[in-house]
Structure 1
Amino acid sequence: MCCYGLIDELLREAPGNKPANETPHKIPKDDGTEIGSQWNDDHVTDIYNDCDLYLAAKNGNLSQFSRILARVASAEKASFVEILRRLSPALNTFLHVAAKHGNENTVTYVAAKSPSLTLHKNSNGDTALHVAARAGDESVVKALVEGSGAEVNNLLRATNQKGNTALHEALISGQEIIARFLIQQDSEVSYYKNKIGECAIYLAAKVGFANCVSLILTLSTDQQRLEELFKKKSPIEAAIMEKHRDVLESILNSSPQFIQIRDEEGRTPLHYAASLGNHAMVRHLLDKYAPSATQRDKNGSFPIHLAAIKGHVDIISLLLQDFPDPGELLNWDGCNILHLAAQNGRSNIVSHILNNPDLNELINMKDKRGNVPLHLATMNWHSEIVYALTWDKRVDIKAVNDEGMTALDAAESSMLPNPTYLQRLTWAALKAAGTPLSLPRKSVQESSNMEICKERVNNLLRVSTIVATMTFAASFTMPGGYTSSGTDRGVATMLREKAFHIFVFCVAIAMHSSCTVAVSLIWAQLGDLTLVLNALTLAEPLIGIALSMMSMAFTAGVFLEVSKLRWLGTAVLVIGATFLAMLLVLLLPLCAPITSSNPILRYLSYYPFRLLIFATTRNRKDLFG
């Protein structure tokens, strides 16, 4: 006995190896009775009693396997069948071992000695046919089917713990030839679903086996059962999703009626293709059956609505080519494609519609609740779309819905006490566009807002103090030092240098800006909310100026000290200019008047606002897809 026998013995005796409430696994005898128990039979895990026999089954040497089998049977005074029924710890028989390693002769020999072993399942519920189908060995699969005798249908229909038949395993593993063979052996298996609802025709469509799909459709005799398979995990949906046009054509050529089949949500194949954005498939389906473009699902959505929700501009353009009046394409809520794009944050669709004069009627159309697209974009805090809509002069920013609310009313009624940045941006875009309020402004929660403002005041006060301290120190430690003698005693040695003039100006501006910020924020400590807001409005751009000047002063000062070495001075200037540009890009949105409705200020704040939108929406897309 090899070392595996001792290991298996220890494994069997180890506490916790016997699952609770596990039904003993019986191996059927060839006469119909059962022998052996999964957990308490002494011969269950003794397949390794003679390692040479196991290795012969694994390596495929039939003469060696049969010779060793005879030797073991003689030594243990046991029959061949008893030895062949021995199991590994994973409940594999010698038949499983031979099938896994593609040893056709050994498989044929073992199946002939004990046909019932073809139905034995291991700990995963796999028969040897599952193992062979997954491994992709056609000859072994055929040997097992032929060797199972009268049990062939039971073997083909046997399922493992995942609910997969051998046909499922062949398709999942991409074994087309084996799959076709198994379909031909028993077409009934094509109707079987695994535990996640996948049938054979769905898997075949998913992996692109057009011939398997055609074969299943040809051999299927129960049309009603076949149609049921198309209503849940539809093969058409799989073909469209994986872009297998040949599979789609096979389905429609074999069963043209399936182009109109609907799933449980009432969606047709064109709904799938439009939702997935597959232009070629949409074109193909329209050529086959154009009326499907105006068929609704159970939610009242046309295929073009799903394309709008998913943001597929090319699909919308294609579906609109042959439709004379886009304003007629409304779902049960009265929403057109612009409503849905605005509601779902599809800025590319919104831009496409705004740039298409033929779609003007959609811009201010109201849904059944009286909401225009601007309302829906606002309610869902899609600041980029709100910004795009409010810049378009055709958009009626004064439009009210059935509750009497403008878009600004809708924003203020649902903003949090401490608004998120997207909420702030959306509100700012509406304010800058001059969107009016039609309802009385809701009462301001001054205590909550005051706490938020106080925190901002304190943070800015700390920054301004640091800047003032640093610039004060810099003003008395001039680069290059001071003249120590003569009539110019105490004067800066680099007084005539242009870089020195820049240094002095920047230090002076930074110092006075930071001092002004500090004083204005001291006024903000008096507790009046309006005064606090006004102080913040003044302080934020000034602190930006102070930080920028401090950066420039540093660059000018270092340049003065290293200017004698030309390449080093140039490097200092390049680095300083690069990071100053980055600093301005970051500060500009904070200091820009993004809520001002003044035309000049609004144009000045255009790019800062776009930058803020880009930063926030890009982050959301990275996180949530």
Structure 2
Amino acid sequence: MAEMLDKILAMKLVHQKDKDGRTPLHCAASIGYLEGVQMLLRQSNFDLYQTDSDGFCPIHVASRGGYVDIVKELLQFSPDSGELPSKHEGRNFLHVAARHGKDDIVDFVLKREGLENLINEKDNYGNTPLHLATWHKHAKVVHYLTWDKRVDLNLVNEEGQTALDIAESMMDKLRMRQTLIGIALMSARAQRAPKSKVKRSGSADAQPPPESKVPPSGSAGAQPPPESKVPPSRRPKLSDPTKEYKDMTNTLLLVSTLVATVTFAAGFTMPGGYNSSNPNASMATLLMRNMFHVFVICNTIAMHTSILAAITLIWAHLHDTFLFNISIQWGLAFLGLAVIAMSLGFMASVYLAVSNLHWLAIVVLIIGIICLVGLLIPLHLLFLPDSSTNCIVRYISYYPFLILVWASSPKIKRKD
């Protein structure tokens, strides 16, 4: 590829544009070709202000692709290029990174000195990078921005909306990414606008900001018209939340019933069996073993907590939003305790069965402990989302929160 680029440089074609208005520098930046970018910058008198048909300069293209090395190289060549606005939306490269969920670029800007003025800069529609990341559901970008004290969480756009207003307009407890964004903003003490025009509770009319004032015809970056211009009869119908609530509770109810069934059966099939002769007829043969005591206690806890979970989840079918939230919260807690107790009981039971072979019993314990820790992590994450503004709670949940963000966010493919 370097040889081909040398030929292009020799033919003085470096300033030529393709049908989409992209120069060779645009193309190299769009695919993350660092060596090519360096060659073009060194050997040519490039105008970094040239825009393609989407209104993007090379630094915007690199930011959209998430190529930190390319952005660093362009900033080193021309520090002022960081402030270049896109032609149609007036967005700097941080806006573009936040819009497309490129958290590596956002993290780089927050740590790089001299780029502080980009953090709260507004585009032509009054949107800051935080607004755009919230609109487009990029929870990790929102997380990074809310942890930086230089970010003004309460700036409003032209619609009179803060980032929290936007998050609440899309809030849906059955959508993890929206919920995490709302939690990140609330825990950072973000405020609502005094007179926000945003429509709350997941309104179908709440639309993201337009991508450009003049969408280029025929270009790869052309955007469809805003949904607000689409006739109501053609708008996609929202899914029925009641059905989703029932599906969720039915799944949890099935799991809790299975746990109760298994633990009930284990109560009558004790490890080691029963004595058949007097004076201890019908008593468990391993009654005096410590691990047997662990098995009985854990099995009893699993049995009763799974029944409690089932009963609690039944309340979620009473078509009351408040009862649904409480039922899910307590039902998950009971079910989590039941699963942990059942795992401990199984480990104790297997240990008793192989206790005469010392090394195997130790291996069983080690495997059981490792798996139990692995079980506790996802169970802990189920209860993590918390909008508490307490600094200690925020710091404790920093990395677990990122795990949730990673688990709930789809992988964003780079554009070549």
The TM-score normalised by the length of structure 1 is 0.55
Amino acid paired to 1:589: L
Deviates more, 1:457-466 or 1:399-408: 457-466
Q: Using the alignment, how far apart are the partners of 1:543 and 1:510 within structure 2?
A: 8
Q: Distance in 1 between matches of 2:183 and 2:375?
A: 23
Matches within 5 A, 1:161-560: 243=1, 245-253=2-10, 255-256=11-12, 258-325=13-80, 328-332=83-87, 333-414=89-170, 420-438=175-193, 439=196, 442=200, 448-483=240-275, 492-560=284-352
Q: Structure 1 residue 520: deviation in Å? A: 2.4
Determine the structure 2 residue equivalent to 1:98: none
Cα pair distance change 1:512/1:391, threshold 3 Å: farther
1:491 CA displacement = 5.0
Q: Name the residue aligned to 2:357.
A: 565
Q: Which has the higher contact order (CA 8 A, sep 6+)?
A: 2
The answer to whether the 8 Å contact 1:268/1:292 transfers is no
RMSD: 3.1
Q: Contact 1:326 / 1:359 at 8 angstroms: preserved in 2?
A: no
Cα deviation for residue 372 of structure 1 reads 0.9
CA contact (8 A) 2:41 2:77 kept: no
- 2:37 maps to a residue whose letter is V
Please tell me whether residue 620 in structure 1 is matched to residue 411 in structure 2: yes
Aligned mates of 1:271, 1:283 — CA distance in 2: 13
Q: What TM-score, normalized by structure 2, do the two folds share? A: 0.80
SS at match of 1:293: coil
The verdict on how the C-alpha distance between 1:488 and 1:602 changes in structure 2, with shifts beyond 3 A counting, is farther
User: 1:599 offset after TM fit, Å?
Assistant: 3.8
Deviates more, 1:370-379 or 1:511-520: 511-520
Asked whether the 8 Å contact 1:309–1:344 carries over to 2, the reply is yes
CA apart distance, 1:249 = 2.2
Distance 1:603 1:377 in 2: 22
Give the structure with the larger helix fraction. Answer: 1
Q: State the alpha-carbon separation in 1 of the partners of residues 92 and 413 from structure 2.
A: 28
2: CA distance, partners of 1:374 / 1:276: 26
Separation (CA, whole Å) in 2 of partners of 1:372 and 1:347:
15
Query: Quick one: distance in 2 between partners of 1:406 and 1:303?
Result: 30
Instruction: Give the deviation of 1:473 after TM superposition.
Output: 3.2
Q: 1:397 is aligned with what amino acid?
A: L
Structure 2, unmatched stretches of 5+, are 204-238
The one of 395, 401, 416 aligned to 1:609: 401
Secondary structure of the residue aligned to 1:460 is: helix
Change (3 A) 1:534 1:596: farther
- Residues in 1 aligned to 2:415 and 2:328: alpha-carbon distance in whole angstroms: 33
Q: Does the CA-based 8 Å contact 2:169-2:202 persist in structure 1?
A: no
- Structure 1 residues 117-128: aligned runs within 5 Å: none
Give % identity.
45
CA contact (8 A) 1:293 1:302 kept: yes
Deviation at 1:360, TM superposition (A): 1.8
Cα offsets for 1:409-453 (capped at 9, x unmatched): 2233346x78544334434433444433333763579x9434432
Structure 1: segments with no counterpart, 5+ residues: 1-242
Match of 2:215 in 1: none
Any conservation in 1 of the 2:173–2:179 contact (CA below 8 Å)?
no
Match of 2:373 in 1: 581
Preserved contact between residue 593 and residue 601 of structure 1 (Cα < 8 Å): no
| Aligned mates of 1:587, 1:511 — CA distance in 2 | 18
Contact (CA 8 Å) 2:49, 2:57: kept in 1 or not?
A: yes
Aligned residues of 2:139 and 2:177 also touching (Cα < 8 A): yes
Query: For residues 431 and 475 of structure 1, what CA distance do their matches in structure 2 show?
Result: 46
Letter of the 1:348 partner, please give it: D
Residues 146-189 of structure 1, C-alpha deviations (whole Å, 9 max, x = no match):
xxxxxxxxxxxxxxxxxxxxxxxxxxxxxxxxxxxxxxxxxxxx
Per-residue Cα deviation, 1:592-624 (whole angstroms, up to 9, x for no partner): 23444444444444344322332343x534899
SS of 1:557's equivalent in the other structure is helix
**Counterparts of 1:510 and 1:495 in 2: how far apart (Å)?**
20
Conserved in 2, the CA contact under 8 Å of 1:453 and 1:533? no
Q: 1 CA distance for matches of 2:285 and 2:96?
A: 68
Rounded to whole Å, the distance in 2 between the matches of 1:504 and 1:400 is 59
- Contact between 1:500 and 1:557, CA under 8 Å: does it hold in 2? yes
SS at the partner of 2:269?
coil
Secondary structure at 1:472 match in 2:
helix
TM-aligned CA deviation for residue 373 of structure 1 = 0.8
Quick check: 1:541–1:590 contact (8 Å CA) kept in 2? Answer: no
State the secondary structure of the residue aligned to 2:200: coil
**Aligned residue-pair number:** 378
Give the direction of change, closer, same or farther, for the CA distance of 1:488–1:396 in structure 2 (3 Å limit): farther
